[in-house]
Amino acid sequence: MKDELAIQAAELGDDDAIRAILTRLCDVTHMGFAAVAHVTEDRWIACQVLDKIAFGLEPGAELEVQMTICNEIRQTENYVVIDHVDADIA
């Protein structure tokens, strides 16, 4: 069962402009999944999701924040740039 924060994140994330950005992002990167999430020290909550690969994550769903790249970015405030994913072992 979703709590109030998860419900609110999903409601606020349901936006046509965000949906268009995620669609364009997937088109340009050839990725099958993109999302906007509400990220705090303790939580990662999906707000808007474009899922072309049946990953199964829906707005309001949560991932364990410690297992996401968002956690590392939030802690260091550094960019993560991967020029060639296939060639980058990290």
Q: For the chain (length 90 residues), average pLDDT per consecutive 10?
A: 81 88 93 91 92 93 90 82 77
> Which pLDDT score is estimated for 20?
96
> Which pLDDT score is estimated for 16?
93
> Which pLDDT score is estimated for 2?
75
Q: Is 37 exposed, middle or buried (0-12, 13-18, 19+ CB in 10 A)?
A: buried
> Which pLDDT score is estimated for 18?
93
> Which pLDDT score is estimated for 1?
62
Using CA atoms, how far apart are residues 61 and 43, in angstroms rounded to an integer? 10
Hey, is 39 helix, strand or coil? Answer: strand
> Which pLDDT score is estimated for 50?
95
Closest Cα to residue 35, out of 8, 55, 7?
A: 55
> Which pLDDT score is estimated for 47?
92
> Which pLDDT score is estimated for 12?
80
